């Protein structure tokens, strides 16, 4: 069943752009061109040219974050593995970025800086989010200068337009360069229907990041973005800020409490413990956390225009890395690597205990083929590994004293030094994506508490033992 399109809001009047505030310098003005020449001579415009080639206009008034992210993803040559609209070409556009929030939600509310970082991570970028209250202006300037001198890292600012004398509220856009002579940054504003690119003093854009975002009740900031060596994880993470909070609560709050109160704790086996953990997570949630990504073949009935484009493109050249292979080859390569990952997971002791735990709880469905059951069990094992063991069975949990042998076996199951490299790589990437989602969910919960809204008990379960999560993740990332 096709979801009906949302009706578009009809406005009685319309607008054509806005005048540039006096505190900013229009990029195309004589002064703006002089600053561009100075910045070029200083070597601070290296990031500009690749960004300018992908300069886009956000597709919706609330899509400044999505438009900015599309611009950066295409600038850094990240392959979405999906077709752009109804063509044979793979290319990012705003409508593809719906993994952390639905597009309808984004249209209504926009996105926060944490959600922006989450979207970037889910789509194969390394995203380092810096809130303005947690970093100094000096560090901000150092990051501006460094990114302006290279073309493989992009700095995106999240700021309040009012501070710049502009109309509107929160906004995202990438920086295209830095002029040291005037201590100004070039903002490539993705709302091109409203403002052209402009030079802005560093002190002013810094001040514009400080006002609190009403959604999170925290300052905005900036995000450093580069290609992740592993790009996106092989399985697709199908969580939102709402569902990740549910999953975290089930595994890091409900499960440890239920386990500690088990009357037979001293006699439990690792299979019993895993059965308890899986019983805490609703079946429909557990089996939708991870799925195989869709890597489509080129459609044969794309239409005359698309066929002509495909013919004009000619045979795809080979760079020897496989990244520019024909689509069918790319899809087959993904399928082969995904299958390799599943086979590697099948060798893990954790996988075998998950199979036994699900069998003991009669979780397997008789009408599902054996290979479907194996895939479901392998993905469940990856879901469990995406939570560091310290977050679901804390070091001081009663299990360690009541059943030390069982506790030791379970901790060995989660030891990333004992798993194949392909599994370790995917777990590290999944933990990165999960942490980004947890941070976004945490911002929403804390803001709701500050506003006096209903946020359960007022505790953010998505950040349960967050320091230990980050420490464990940092160790795994460094090892990988």
With tokens 């990438």, the residue in question is 174
Buried b (16+ CB within 10 A) or exposed e, 161-176: bebbebeeebbbbbbb
Q: Which one, of 192, 155, 196, 177, lies nearest residue 49 by Cα?
A: 177
Q: Which one, of 280, 252, 248, 262, lies nearest residue 406 by Cα?
A: 262
Q: Which one, of 295, 285, 293, 287, lies nearest residue 235 by Cα?
A: 293
In sequence order, what are the residues at sequence separation of 6 or more whose Cβ sits closer than 8 angstroms to the Cβ of residue 110?
62, 64, 65, 170, 215
What six digits make up the tokens of 107? 């249209």
460 HSE (CA, 13 A, CB side): 20
Q: Describe the chain by its helix, strand, coil percentages, rounded to 5.
A: 50, 10, 40
Q: Reduced to 3 states, what is the DSSP secondary structure of residue 33?
A: helix
Strands annotated E in 136-205: 153-160, 170-179, 184-187, 198-201
CB 452 within 8 A of CB 446: no
In sequence order, what are the residues at sequence separation of 6 or more whose Cβ sits closer than 8 angstroms to the Cβ of residue 345?
351, 378, 381, 382, 423
What is d(CA 213, CA 210) in angstroms, rounded to the nearest whole number? 9
**For the chain, how many helices (H) and strands (E)?**
20, 11
C-alpha angle 272/275/276, rounded to 5°?
Answer: 90
What is d(CA 175, CA 47) in angstroms, rounded to the nearest whole number? 8
Residues 430, 432, 437, 441: is their CA dihedral positive or negative?
positive
Positions marked active-site: 64, 171, 189
In sequence order, what are the residues at sequence separation of 6 or more whose Cβ sits closer than 8 angstroms to the Cβ of residue 269?
406
What six digits make up the tokens of 60? 């919706």
290 HSE (CA, 13 A, CB side): 25
Q: Which one, of 459, 437, 439, lies nearest residue 448 by Cα?
A: 459
């Amino acid at each position: 069943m096709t979801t009906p399109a949302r009706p578009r809001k009809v406005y009685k009047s319309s607008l054509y752009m806005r005048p540039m505030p006096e505190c900013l310098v229009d990029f195309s003005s004589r002064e703006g061109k002089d600053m561009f020449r100075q910045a070029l001579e200083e070597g601070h415009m290296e990031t500009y040219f690749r960004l300018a080639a992908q300069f886009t206009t956000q597709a919706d008034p609330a899509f400044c974050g999505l438009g900015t992210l599309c611009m950066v993803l295409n600038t850094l040559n990240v392959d979405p593995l999906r077709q752009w609209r109804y063509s044979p070409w793979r290319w990012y556009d705003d409508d593809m970025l719906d993994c952390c929030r639905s597009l309808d939600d984004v249209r209504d509310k926009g996105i926060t800086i944490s959600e922006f970082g989450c979207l970037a991570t889910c789509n194969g970028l390394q995203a380092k989010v810096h809130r303005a209250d947690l970093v100094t202006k000096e560090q901000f300037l150092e990051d501006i200068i460094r990114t302006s001198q290279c073309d493989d890292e992009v700095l995106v600012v999240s700021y309040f337009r009012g501070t710049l004398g502009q109309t509107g509220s929160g906004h995202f856009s990438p920086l295209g360069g830095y002029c040291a002579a005037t201590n100004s940054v070039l903002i490539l504003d993705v709302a091109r229907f409203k403002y052209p690119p402009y030079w802005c003093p560093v002190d002013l854009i810094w001040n514009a990041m400080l006002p609190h975002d009403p959604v999170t009740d925290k300052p905005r900031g900036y995000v450093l973005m580069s290609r992740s060596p592993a790009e996106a994880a092989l399985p697709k993470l199908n969580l939102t800020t709402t569902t990740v909070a549910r999953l975290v609560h089930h595994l890091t709050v409900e499960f440890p409490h239920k386990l500690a109160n088990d009357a037979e704790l001293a006699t439990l086996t690792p299979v019993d413990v895993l059965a308890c953990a899986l019983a805490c997570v609703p079946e429909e949630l557990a089996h939708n956390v991870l799925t195989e990504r869709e890597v489509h073949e080129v459609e044969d009935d794309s239409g005359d225009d698309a066929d002509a484009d495909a013919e004009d493109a000619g045979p795809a050249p080979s760079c020897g890395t496989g990244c520019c292979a024909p689509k069918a080859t790319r899809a087959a390569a993904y399928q082969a690597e995904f299958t390799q990952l599943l086979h590697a997971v099948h060798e893990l002791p954790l996988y075998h205990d998950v199979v036994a735990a699900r069998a003991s709880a009669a979780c397997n469905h008789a009408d599902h083929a054996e290979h479907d059951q194996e895939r479901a069990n392998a993905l469940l094992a990856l879901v469990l590994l995406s939570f560091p063991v310290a977050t679901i069975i804390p070091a001081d949990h009663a299990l360690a004293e009541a059943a030390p042998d069982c506790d030791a076996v379970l901790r060995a199951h989660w030891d990333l030094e004992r798993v194949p490299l392909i599994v370790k790589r995917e777990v590290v990437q999944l933990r990165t994506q999960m942490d980004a989602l947890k941070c976004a969910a945490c911002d929403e919960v804390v803001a709701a508490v500050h506003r006096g809204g209903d946020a359960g008990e007022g505790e953010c379960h998505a950040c349960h033992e967050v320091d230990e999560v980050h420490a464990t993740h940092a160790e795994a990332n460094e090892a990988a």
